[in-house]
Structure formats: C-alpha cells, structure tokens
Structure 1
Amino acid sequence: MHFRSTLIAASVALLDVANAAQGQLQSVTTFNAGPTKATMHVYIPTKKLSPAPIIVAIHYCTGTASAYFSSTQYATLADTHGFIVIYPESPSSGKCWDVASTASLTHNGGGDSKTIVNMVSYAVTNYGGDATKVYATGSSSGAMMTNVLAGAYPDVFKAGSAYSGVPDGCFYVAGATAGMATPGWNNQCAAGTLTKTAQQWGDLTRSYYPGYNGSYPKMLIWHGTADTTLAYPNFAEDLKQWSNVFNINFTKDVANTPQSAYTQKIYGDGTQLIGYSGQGVGHTVPVHETVDLAWFGIA
C-alpha cells in the first residue's frame, strides 16, 4: 500500500526513550505461515509466565520491529510482568501495513492481518503463549492495523490500544468509493473529512466477520489535537465506530488524565471503550505503556 511521505516522516515522532529490556529482540526465522511476507520478531522475558499473555506491538510507516522495540517500553515491562511481545514487521516497501485490502479486512481472508494472527498462533505453540490473553497496540499505520485486528479477529484479541490512527476500514471505504482497484492512501481519511454515522462505521467493522456473535476487544483510542498527518477529526469518527460496536454511549470527560493536557473520554461504564485526547499533541501520541498494561489487565 502506498502512503504519502508526510505520514512516513511524521510517524517516526515517537517517545525518545531508550529501551531498558534485559534481553534482546529475536528474529523468528522459522515462522513462515504467511500469507504475506511480514516477518515475526519476539521478545521473551527470562521470567515468563506459564502460560504467558501476548502483546502484539505494531510499528508505524517506515518503522521496523527493531525500531518499535527500541522506542517503546513493552519489552522492559515484560521483564517485570512475564508477558511475550510480538513485533511484526511490514513487508511493504514503505513499511506501512495493509489496512485497506478486502483480504486483510476479512476474517481468515488473508493479508497482513492474517499473517499477524498466525504469529500469535506460533507464539502460543512454540513459546507457551496464552491464547486467552492476546492484545494489540500500535502507532499510526500500526494503530490502523490494531483496529483491523480488533474488527476482523475479535475471537483472537481481547483488547487494543490504537495511537493516532483512523477509523477501522477508512482507507478501504474511501478507496472503493473512488473506484481504486487497490485501495491505499486517501486524502479524505488523512484529513479527517470522511465522516459516517456511528451505525455505518459499526456495520463496516461487523462486516469483516459475518455471523460472529461474540464479544469484541475493548479499545483505547488515542489522538492529538495538533495532528496534521492523520487529522484530529479521525478521533471522533473512531470513537463513534467502536461505541456502536459496543452499543454504548459517551458518559463523561475526565480532565488531565492520564496526565496534564490529556482528556479521558469515557463511554458506557468505562470497561469497553475509552478515548484519550492530547491537547497540542501532534503525530503520533507518545505511547503510554503502563496505561495499556492496566487496560489489558496485565499490570
């Protein structure tokens, strides 16, 4: 998928924090389950729980598994809490994820989403991962993939945390409407001008897995008001989408949470959907690993 250089450049703006993990990131050369050529990298803590929860941490455009490993603290926290971290790496030339193909947006349909799900299965079989405690998180293009995984594979993932993305399937819908054979980057989605009703967004997510009657992963949605790459209105559209999936309404705002200049937006009773709006924050919102772990129920 082709993403514009603005997204590629801005997506590198993550927390400038050195990873203090005790071990090293491992490239899993024996993983070949496909269907795409995305590669699997893992961090296995020395003191691993048995079975161990699994977090899938998904990089941004131009990113790599190694870059996301180094710029986030998931691996360091794994040393304390004993979970496994999978760092998938995109096979595309620009290192963006396929979040717009029919295959990737269909349960067991293929695409990068299915390859990532196969990585989870590999970790369960080979590393003692807990198939009942699997979580996804990512930044920018990785946030989009987090949404895709939550929508297309709600039977695999229990929770997600998406940093500065767009509504689930936005690039697909916009591209299909424009008659693109292979939907990819779309200016409407990037600018946040593609709006739908909550029902329309929710129906899109539900369409990925026809006949599914189970629960969907609980979601955290993060966005900055000063995002000029994937504009701030995407935040509201994303929250509309998931509020419809969960059939819950906005409840209240909580100021200066989880830190100064952030507003927590609670939906329902706060157990299924929460948004975090960062005042003056650009692309992307810095990763809040400890908030994520609490949301996942790991710490």
Structure 2
Amino acid sequence: MYVYIPTTQLKPAPIIVAIHYCTGTAQKYFQGSNYASLADTHGFIVIYPNSPSSGGCWDVASTASLTHDKGGDSQTIVNMVDYAVKNYGGDADKVYATGSSSGAMMTNVLAGAYPDVFKAGSVYSGVPDGCFYVAGATAGMATPGWSNSCANGQNIKTAQAWGDLVRSYYPGYNGTYPKIQIFHGTADNTLDYPNLAEQLKEWSNVFGITFTKNVTNNPQSGYTQMVYGNGSQLVGYSAQGVGHTVPIHETMDLAWFGIA
C-alpha cells in the first residue's frame, strides 16, 4: 500500500484508489498519472496498491477475489481503504476506484464485490467483472487466472447473464452499485475491443438501464460517448484507433467522482 497525502487535505478527504496495469507498480502508476498533483489542488487522498504477483497483474479470477469478504487482492485493497479512513482522515462515504488494463479489471471487480465501499469507478481498457474467472486460480502466478478467450473478446454473454454474475459476488446485497464510466480503444489488441460492449451490457443490466444515445467527438475528436439511461450511472467511451491502453483522463475522472 502506497499513499499520497495532499499538501492541503480536506477533512474528511475523498479517497481515489488508482490501480496499476500488468508489469506495472504503484510507483509507475503514480509517475504515469496526474492524480497526485490534482490531489494537491482538490484535497483528496490517493491510494496506489502494488500487486503481490511476480508479473504485476491483479487477481481478478479467483473465487476469493471476486466475492465479497472472501479474501484475495480485492479485499486487500478494501483493507487499504479502511486503513486510510482510520489513519489518514479519509472519507468512507467518498471512495472511488480507477485503473488501467489489469487495474481496470480490478476496478470492475471492486465495484461488483464491494459496492458498499466504492461510490464510482473509472475503467481504462479492461474486461467485464468475472470475465477472467478461473476456479482455483493460484495467487502469485505471473498472470493470475489469465483467460485468452476473455482477453480476445470471445466471452460473449447476455446482459442478464453478466448482471447475474455481478450480483452473485455479493449475495443478498440490495443497495446501490457504483456508477461506472468505461474507456476502450478500437485498436486494442491486448484486451480486444468487444470487451467494451460486454462491460456496458453487464453494468446496464446491474443498473436496470438501457442505451440512450451516442455523442460523437466527446470528450475529444475520435472518441464517441455512449450514454446509458440519463448518463448519471453508466457511460462508455469508444476511442477510435487507440490501442492498449486508453490514456488516462484524470479531470474526467474527478468530474465523474464528483470531486471537481
């Protein structure tokens, strides 16, 4: 657990969990993003988890990590949030997750398994929650529970089936789920482009909303915003010609989280 405490901190302070990609580290994600400098402006805390696996990937495949309070990397990250609330003045009611690639996958996992902890997520080039599931996946593998079919965009399910998967990870939960925005590039050859549609199907079912409209060249040229419902719970961004991964849009994340 690595934490960035801003120069001027809100009391209590919102918490953003910024989750690195495979082969990455907490330090690399700190250096490759602008969350820390924005924290100094807006007063929030940033947690940078560091994956325990040898290849830097997160466990988004095991039953433990996918399921509420069953352990795995997801519960470890939730423990970091609890620690920041108790020891650094974090606001338990304003906790958000974001990440790229494997970190994007973990953001979806956290939203599914710990909707009582996180209020919103921003996903950069990931896959649906549960897509990499492998029974008995071994923690510590270089790529824990890697699924070629999922990575290649071949795990196609109905919206209902995806939604049922998410709901199964926290049995009995009747509260709200975190709002989600999802970025994906059309030229992604690592976690292929069909994963965007599958993620949007998944969360649209969880929220009980349907596709409303596309907005072209939003937030920039070549990007298309995909709005579901009234756009307050779920939006997607298709980035034309962009590979793996979509560049981080930090100011959009802060707006989505309601921090700035």
| TM-score, shorter chain, exceeding 0.5 | yes
Structure 1-normalised TM-score? 0.84
Residue 99 of structure 2 corresponds to 138
| The one of 180, 195, 200 aligned to 1:234 | 195
Deviations 1:178-217 (A, max 9, x none): xx76571111101101100000000000001000000000
Residue 198 of structure 1 corresponds to 159
> Could you tell me how far apart the structure 1 residues matched to 2:206 and 2:137 are?
28
> Could you tell me how far apart the structure 2 residues matched to 1:165 and 1:212 are?
24
Deviations 1:8-39 (A, max 9, x none): xxxxxxxxxxxxxxxxxxxxxxxxxxxxxxxx
> Could you tell me how far apart the structure 2 residues matched to 1:73 and 1:110 are?
30
> Could you tell me how far apart the structure 1 residues matched to 2:151 and 2:8 are?
42
> Could you tell me how far apart the structure 1 residues matched to 2:181 and 2:233 are?
8
Residue 141 of structure 2 corresponds to none
* Mapped contact 2:62–2:137 kept (Cα < 8 A): no
Taking every aligned residue pair, what percent have the same amino acid on both sides?
79
Deviations 1:203-256 (A, max 9, x none): 000001000000000000110000001000000000000000000000000011
In the alignment of these two chains, the number of paired residues is 255
Quick one: which amino acid aligns to residue 295 of structure 1? W
> Could you tell me how far apart the structure 1 residues matched to 2:250 and 2:137 are?
38
Q: Which moved more, 1:180-189 or 1:52-61?
A: 180-189
Residue 51 of structure 2 corresponds to 90
Which consecutive unaligned segments of at least 5 residues does structure 1 have? 1-39
1:48 and 1:252, CA in 2 relative to 1: closer, same or farther beyond 3 A?
A: same
Residue 189 of structure 1 corresponds to 150
| The one of 69, 91, 113 aligned to 1:108 | 69
Structure 2-normalised TM-score? 0.97
Which consecutive unaligned segments of at least 5 residues does structure 2 have? 139-143
Report the secondary structure of 2:132's partner residue. helix
The residue correspondences of 1:71-90 to structure 2 (distance < 5 A) are 71-90=32-51
In angstroms, what is the RMSD of aligned CA positions? 0.9
| The one of 273, 283, 294 aligned to 2:244 | 283
> Could you tell me how far apart the structure 2 residues matched to 1:123 and 1:91 are?
20
